[in-house]
Amino acid sequence: MNGSYMRRYEMLMRVRDFGDAHQDLFPAAALAGQSFGVVRAAVADLAAHAATHESGRNATREGTTSKAAARDALREDLEAIVRTARAMAVGSPGLDDKFPQPRGGDQQLLNSARTFALDAAQLSARFVEYGLPEDFITDLQHDIADFEEAMRDQETGKGTKLAAAAAIDAAMDAAFDALVQLDALVPNRLRSDPGRLAMWERARRIEYPGRLQPEETSPVPGPSVSSATTPATT
C-alpha cells in the first residue's frame, strides 16, 4: 500500500483506540461517541477492503500472465494454419485467402481463431496431409477456451480492484468527516485535562518518516485510492 494511505490508516487506528480507552468521557450515545463509532467502523472496513483490493491486484497480475501465455499458444496455432494454407494454395489457388495472417488486438485474434477453427474443420484431412496433427482442430479449440478464460480472469481481477478502491474511498471519506466533528468535540471536552488532551493530539497526528506532522484542524478527505492504495496497473 502507498505510504500516504498507511499513515492515515494508522492515525485512524490510534483515534479509534483513544475513543475505546475513553468511553467514560465519550459514551456511545453522545455525539463524540457516535463519531468515534464511525471511525471504528471505517477502520474495520478499510482493513477488509484493502485485503480485497490486494487480492484483486494479484488476480489481475495472474490473469495477465496466463493471458500472455494463452495468447502465444493461440498465435502459434494460427500461424501453423496460415503457413500450411499457403502451401496448400499451390494446388488450390485462393485457399490462403481463407486463412489470412491475424491482425489487430486480442479480440481480433480471438475472432480469427474461431473463424479458423470453423473453416479448417472442413479441410482437416488436407491439413493433416500437410503435416498438422490429427487433433489440431481440438488443440485450437482448447487454446481458444484458455485464452477466453484468461481474459475473463484478468477482467474479474480488475473489477475487484475497482470495487475495493471505491469502497476504500467511501470508508476514508466517512472517517475524515467524523474527524471534523472530533477535532472540535474532543478538545472542547478535554480543555481542562491537559494530559488527556496531549494524548488526543498525539493520536490525531499523522506520522511522517523521521518526524511528526499534525493534521490540519479541518481535515480533508483521505487521498484518492488511485494514488494512495492502487499500484500501477499491470
Give the model's confidence band at 3: pLDDT under 50 very low, under 70 low, under 90 confident, else very high.
confident
| Averaged pLDDT of the chain | 88
Q: List pLDDT tens digits, range 212-233.
A: 444 443 333 444 433 333 333 3
Q: Which pLDDT does position 104 carry in this prediction? A: 86
Q: Which pLDDT does position 63 carry in this prediction? A: 87
Q: Are strands 206-208 and 211-213 parallel, antiparallel or unpaired?
A: antiparallel
- Cα torsion at 121, 127, 131, 135 (round to 10°)? 10
Q: List pLDDT tens digits, range 142-169.
A: 999 999 999 999 999 999 999 999 999 9
Q: List pLDDT tens digits, range 98-135.
A: 999 998 899 999 999 999 999 999 999 999 999 999 99
d(CA 86, CA 98) in angstroms, rounded, equals 10
Q: Which pLDDT does position 164 carry in this prediction? A: 93
Q: List pLDDT tens digits, range 15-53.
A: 999 999 999 999 999 999 999 999 999 999 999 999 999
